Amino acid sequence: MSEKKICLLKDFLSLIACFAIALIMAVCIRLFVFELVRVDGNSMKPTLYDGQTLFVEKISLHTNQIQRGDIVIVHYPGRSGAYVKRVVALAGDVVEVKDGYLYLNGVKQEEPYTLDETMHWDAEKTVVPEDCYYVMGDNRNDSMDSRSIGSIPKEDMIGKALFVIWPISAIHSLN
């Protein structure tokens, strides 16, 4: 084989290796670091609107940094798709919706971010299991959430939304 062909072969293999490394890095970043998620529906009004795109980081899941009030992306057990919700309770918390208001560990919660002041239906008192989160939409009267699905296991959490990045006119932090 001529020296020129060997050089071309080395260049070609080098190019293939670069593409393979870039692909592996992209997959790892999406799986473990961040991804973009589109809001689908009205369950998070007035905080988020249908069609907005969120920057979602995943490192918090591995460092146990999810807290009450965080907006998260979750899978519902036994259902397809991803859902955008707000964490309202952590493992060990006692949650109840009574007379249209959220109670956490017996204390009525002030929730200025919700669309309506009261909810149209109540939910029985429940204790959030170990390694689980209780999530609700900000549009409480139009949200399928932990009141009907139950607590969300940690392994069904996708990540924590940090920013709205689209549309450009709506860019803002979610903290």
- Residues catalogued as catalytic: 43, 85
* CB 75, CB 158: distance < 8 Å: yes
* Rg over CA atoms, the chain: 21
CA distance 26 to 142: 36
CA distance 113 to 97: 17
Torsion-angle region of 16 (φ positive above 0: left; ψ -120 to 50: alpha; else: beta): alpha
Q: Which long-range contacts (CB under 8 A, 24 or more apart) does 4-8 make?
A: none
